[in-house]
Structure 1
């Protein structure tokens, strides 16, 4: 097979909108989009859309040159071969630009700011191939005509050989399965949620099935409530139960509170009885209460535990970041008697017991308190979490500041908006009427 000879290399943004001129020198339109066929490693541009109100394309084989001022056709427009978009073709500008790819180097999402194309000649035929996506700032500046700001910046290209369509004509792109499966699992849950929300129902389930249960649970917790409930309703109850059991209790209760009672009971019945009963209690708190914000995961120790023993226990438990900041000191009947911060624990003498270093005046809320009270306590006293206790002082759970911020605040920089969004946030989502 003869080697391919590169005739030209350019970016999509450099030819979009460029006038198209036939062999007689008449301008027949401008390049509005390209039809591509993605059947090999590098997609091939098969047609150029030259007018807004027509389904006809000029075949790329009819292009003589991609000039500086014009796209030149080989012959008169009347004699030029034309075609229409086929079922296995997509518009590159409409369906690929501004979509997202997974950056394998950083394990994060990146936006397609521009697309690199190569005009190659092989055995007396020419093809226009898509060879890379530009995910860098320079590509974006080129798109909007601000090339002079891009001076000194390098193109950040991701080769097309690493990309396959995530779904025909919709949503984002992802890396090839043979190089990306592990990397997908390394994405931040919020980035995975972005991908999931852009897919249709079958593809959402397919993507979740390619994730381990812990990663799927973390991503599902970040998905918008309506989308999450659709996904859970679509999953087999056994699969949904397996994933939801990996969620933090408050997140699991939120998720189950958004699906039908029949579906939630099916899922709960497949869980261990203790876990299921705990979630049922969380789901039963009225929607506007502190109990609806609460998680039952927290660190608790006996008052007689030494600082050294507590630190050793922390290493064993490897708790989540939500709960590591405070150690709650409980009597044998789970009565809350004090709290120890991580800093207090680290600086304490190893043999000192927790009841000697704990703060006994503990700020706390009742599960029936209005959710505003928990928010006010956390904000006023700069707490990372506030304990929730019943009327007898029995510890039930905690409310964390991260959970409040992530769930209740569209504007995370403005604490004054806490109460404004309270009813529309997590409090309104989980509780059953």
Structure 2
């Protein structure tokens, strides 16, 4: 930018409480805070708060200079030159200092100990822009006036483009940018952030997330945190999210709530979704039924491979896994199983009856968890079907649910490494 002159870089703590003098040297007050506006490029200071009120701000364009002693205006001060705080502005000290924010680059919660600002001049006007927040201990010592004790320790900054305050007091433009950045975070990172927040912070943050982000993040949390998060939401949004979750996960959460609360949420859900969840909630905790999901791919025995692939395209988005395809008759009786690979390489006109394996590893919904784990381990399966006494398929249990049950203290990345290893070991038939 032509004629851009950097007048200096400094910290908010170095400005706070400094005297403000007009062009005649008269003291008109102290700097109590700085009003800021986010314009989509960089957050810039718009005014100076020098009284306890919010309606009398000194426009930043009236500042001519600043040093370690005071801030100087370029005019003889007149209260009629002040302006009120606008709707798209906020005070950075009140909003950021000593507050937790999300470091969008590091995917973590951090505490703001100071704020780095730059003072620039362009076309004979002065501007202050927010460069970064200081999250290091050196920033805290600076505010205490003893930064020299940590002079050998590097500052720790988060650039303004990577910060997401937990309190939403910025413009709609800035909030849109922050939401887009949040979409780039892995659900596991969002889950970690939520678990580190206190009760109020969680509620505010959840309002920023769209439903799919909330669902994906919930899937990465421990059950007790899932229950807390759902409890914090209003009933309408909680029921919408439970509707979109895999029914086994929704059932786990609702089973931890009071019967009155769970029934209230179920009554707000679509009837089909609620019925699936109610069915799963009837099984006792240690049974196979409590682990299964009703989201599986069931295909008619008489259709061809080509027809099955077309049907798979329609059903796959709602399924827990598509590695195994279960072949059923008109009564949902399990007749056979085949792998996705077998379907893809089959001749288009071949029927599923000719492709499927009729020797099926299956389990009762009343078998215990250990039996499920033993079967999955013995046959190297990624999922096992759950059937009733008439061999009608009720649902499936996927290996990730079993691994999380058996390894509750293992990091999720280790669990998925085990899953990948199992997929590589699985050979042929429905073990592929």
Normalised to the residue count of structure 1, the TM-score between the two structures is 0.63
In 1, the alpha carbon distance for the partners of 2:192 and 2:347 equals 47
Equivalent in the alignment of 2:377? 379
Whether the aligned pair in 2 keeps the contact of 1:117 and 1:128 (CA below 8 Å) is no
Whether the aligned pair in 2 keeps the contact of 1:326 and 1:342 (CA below 8 Å) is yes
- RMSD of Structure 2 on Structure 1 (CA): 4.4
Q: 1:242 to 1:95 in 2, by over 3 A?
A: closer
In 1, the alpha carbon distance for the partners of 2:6 and 2:103 equals 29
CA deviation after TM superposition for structure 1 residue 295, in Å = 0.4
Equivalent in the alignment of 1:410? 409
Equivalent in the alignment of 2:389? 391
Equivalent in the alignment of 1:303? 301
Q: Indicate yes or no: 2:334 matched with 1:330.
A: no
CA deviation after TM superposition for structure 1 residue 110, in Å = 5.7
Q: 1:111 to 1:245 in 2, by over 3 A?
A: closer
Q: How does 1:237-256 map to 2 (within 5 A)?
A: 237-256=235-254
The match for 2:232 among 221, 231, 234 is 234
Equivalent in the alignment of 2:365? 367
Q: Indicate yes or no: 2:163 matched with 1:163.
A: yes
In 2, the alpha carbon distance for the partners of 1:332 and 1:198 equals 49
CA deviation after TM superposition for structure 1 residue 117, in Å = 4.3
Deviations 1:26-56 (A, max 9, x none): xxxxxxxxxx96743369xxxxxxxxxxxxx
CA deviation after TM superposition for structure 1 residue 314, in Å = 1.3
Equivalent in the alignment of 1:355? 353
Equivalent in the alignment of 1:317? 315
Q: 1:181 to 1:7 in 2, by over 3 A?
A: closer
Whether the aligned pair in 2 keeps the contact of 1:220 and 1:228 (CA below 8 Å) is yes
Of 224-233 and 251-260, the range deviating more from structure 2: 224-233
Equivalent in the alignment of 2:131? 131
Matched positions, count? 329
Q: 1:121 to 1:297 in 2, by over 3 A?
A: closer
Q: How does 1:34-433 map to 2 (within 5 A)?
A: 39-40=35-36, 41=43, 100-103=102-105, 109=107, 117=116, 131-132=131-132, 159-160=159-160, 163-167=163-167, 176-319=174-317, 322-406=320-404, 408-411=407-410
Q: Secondary structure at the match of 1:319?
A: helix
Deviations 1:385-420 (A, max 9, x none): 1111112211010011123334653225778xx9xx
Whether the aligned pair in 2 keeps the contact of 1:221 and 1:255 (CA below 8 Å) is no
In 2, the alpha carbon distance for the partners of 1:321 and 1:186 equals 24
In 1, the alpha carbon distance for the partners of 2:180 and 2:7 equals 35
Q: 1:116 to 1:311 in 2, by over 3 A?
A: same
Whether the aligned pair in 2 keeps the contact of 1:299 and 1:324 (CA below 8 Å) is yes
Q: Secondary structure at the match of 1:226?
A: helix
Q: 1:233 to 1:346 in 2, by over 3 A?
A: same
In 2, the alpha carbon distance for the partners of 1:393 and 1:380 equals 22
CA deviation after TM superposition for structure 1 residue 208, in Å = 2.7
In 1, the alpha carbon distance for the partners of 2:360 and 2:318 equals 22
Q: 1:164 to 1:294 in 2, by over 3 A?
A: closer
**5+ long unaligned stretches in structure 1:** 13-35, 44-60, 65-86, 136-142, 148-154, 169-174, 419-433
Q: Secondary structure at the match of 2:317?
A: coil
Whether the aligned pair in 2 keeps the contact of 1:113 and 1:133 (CA below 8 Å) is no
Normalised to the residue count of structure 2, the TM-score between the two structures is 0.63
In 2, the alpha carbon distance for the partners of 1:254 and 1:330 equals 28
Q: Secondary structure at the match of 2:395?
A: strand
Deviations 1:279-298 (A, max 9, x none): 11211211111111100000
